[in-house]
Amino acid sequence: MSIEVRGLSKYFNGFKAVHEVSVKLETGSLTALLGPSGSGKSTLLRMIAGLEVPDAGEIHLTGREATYVTAKERNVGFVFQHYALFKHMTVYENIAFGLRVRKQTEKEIKDRVYELLNLIQLTGYEKRYPSQLSGGQRQRVAVARALAPRPEVLLLDEPFGALDAKVREELRDWILKLHEETSVTTLFVTHDQQEAMEVASRILIMNKGQIEQDGTPIEIFDKPATHFIAQFVGETNFIDTEVAEKGLAVWGPFRFSINPTLAVKRKIRIYFRPNDVYMTEQFETLQVQAKIAKTRFKGTVIEYQLDIGGDKNISAQIPKGVALASGFKEGQFVYAAITAFHVFPL
């Protein structure tokens, strides 16, 4: 089932939770809705599910108008952040719930529940109660429960938010595999960018009720469309300066070649990622001299704070192996260049 929303809006007491959002998701896609708290992503998801009624706009499911169709009729599956499992029912009964409501036969129900238990790798747990399961197990049951009535769309609201880091990682892989096996159109909400980039093939970044960018993980990472996205996704340095002359901006010893249409003296902000800072011990062309002020070990990378003189510094990140091989030390003088950056007028 494809999902399309047009001009969708929702306001809470004048606060624009979602404002004129339009997007189309193809059948079988796996998309992430990424954004900070309060960006409206959960509200958007809930409107698609039928749990909230939009104040304006339309929702179409597989081409059919569904804006005011009840949640029951939409045939969507929804997974909550805190699982919302029925605490007084066993795992079996939880998964069977949607099927019982549709008045399927006992045999049909039994077959489907066991099929799903197998899928979520919890065969043998059918008589347990939610209170007897771990967080990760509960979430898997919640997914199974949502999938039981064979929905055409699966919506997940920060599904792994309440779990430990390690469990989150494992469930991420699991969701990817699940999607490969079931090919259900899936849309999930998260505030964790790593999760969005690892799992989804398409990311919608939401901020202040609107979609600021719509693209693949690489596009989002390498070509952020707005200030907000440049700062929100990945780590960044940013520097404020102004256009020095046509096509050129200057900051300390660095010279940036920029869009020539920007007016001279226009204030701009330049973003660049720490891992796009290139460091060597010997001078090569276009590099700037810097002193390593601090080093920080960050697991797979080492971060260097580079002092480029005049109270200015930037951070650079180098993969651990390369860094150790080069032998960079605090206090050492190196030469740095910025290999990629983005400019936004202020």
Partner 1 sequence: MKETLIVSFRGTRNNDPARALTEPLWVRWVLIAIALSFMGLFLVVPLVEVFASALDKGFQYYFNAIREPAALSAIKLTLIAAGVSVLLNTLFGLSAAWAITKFQFPGKNLLITLIDLPFTVSPVVSGLIYVLLFGLQGLMGHWLKDHDIQIIFALPGIVLATVFVTFPFVARELIPLMQEQGSEEEEAAKVLGANGWQTFWKVTLPNIQWGLLYGIILCNARAMGEFGAVSVVSGHIRGLTNTLPLHVEILYNEYNFTAAFAVASLLTFLALLTLVAKTLVGAKYSRERGVLTTSLENEVTP
**Total residues in contact with partner 1, by rule CB under 8 A:** 38
| DSSP code string of 49-78 | HTSS--SEEEEEETTEE-TT--HHHHTEEE
In this structure, what token pair is assigned to residue 295?
Answer: 């080093």
Identify the residue among 15, 68, 86, 283 touching partner 1 (CB under 8 A).
86
69 counts as binding partner 1 under rule CB under 8 A: no
| DSSP code string of 208-224 | TTEEEEEE-HHHHHHS-
Phi first, then psi: what are they for 25, rounded to 5°? -115, 130
77 counts as binding partner 1 under rule CB under 8 A: yes
Q: Round to whole Å and give the CA distance between 167 and 337.
A: 39
Q: How many CB atoms lie within 10 A of CB 98?
A: 21
Rg for the chain (alpha carbons), in Å?
25
145 counts as binding partner 1 under rule CB under 8 A: yes
159 counts as binding partner 1 under rule CB under 8 A: no
337 counts as binding partner 1 under rule CB under 8 A: no
For partner 1, the closer of residues 142 and 338 by Cβ is: 142
Identify the residue among 21, 34, 116, 133 touching partner 1 (CB under 8 A).
133
105 counts as binding partner 1 under rule CB under 8 A: no
- Burial of residue 327 (CB within 10 Å: 0-12, 13-18, 19+) is exposed
Least distance from partner 1 to the Cβ atom of residue 88, Å: 4
49 counts as binding partner 1 under rule CB under 8 A: yes
Phi first, then psi: what are they for 104, rounded to 5°? -80, 165
CA 278 to chain centre: 28
For partner 1, the closer of residues 89 and 337 by Cβ is: 89
176 counts as binding partner 1 under rule CB under 8 A: no
Identify the residue among 174, 254, 272, 341 touching partner 1 (CB under 8 A).
174
Identify the residue among 16, 20, 69, 80 touching partner 1 (CB under 8 A).
80
For partner 1, the closer of residues 123 and 134 by Cβ is: 134
Identify the residue among 152, 170, 192, 198 touching partner 1 (CB under 8 A).
170
Least distance from partner 1 to the Cβ atom of residue 72, Å: 5
In this structure, what token pair is assigned to residue 274?
Answer: 């720490």
Tell me, residue by residue from 248 to 287, as one string, x for binding to partner 1 by CB under 8 A and - for no binding. ----------------------------------------
224 counts as binding partner 1 under rule CB under 8 A: no
SS3 32: strand
- Burial of residue 208 (CB within 10 Å: 0-12, 13-18, 19+) is middle
Identify the residue among 162, 225, 248, 293 touching partner 1 (CB under 8 A).
162
Q: Tell me if 61 sits within 8 A of 53, measured CB to CB.
A: no
Least distance from partner 1 to the Cβ atom of residue 57, Å: 20
Least distance from partner 1 to the Cβ atom of residue 199, Å: 15
88 counts as binding partner 1 under rule CB under 8 A: yes
The DSSP output letter for 263 is P
For partner 1, the closer of residues 56 and 167 by Cβ is: 167
76-79 and 153-157 strand pairing: parallel
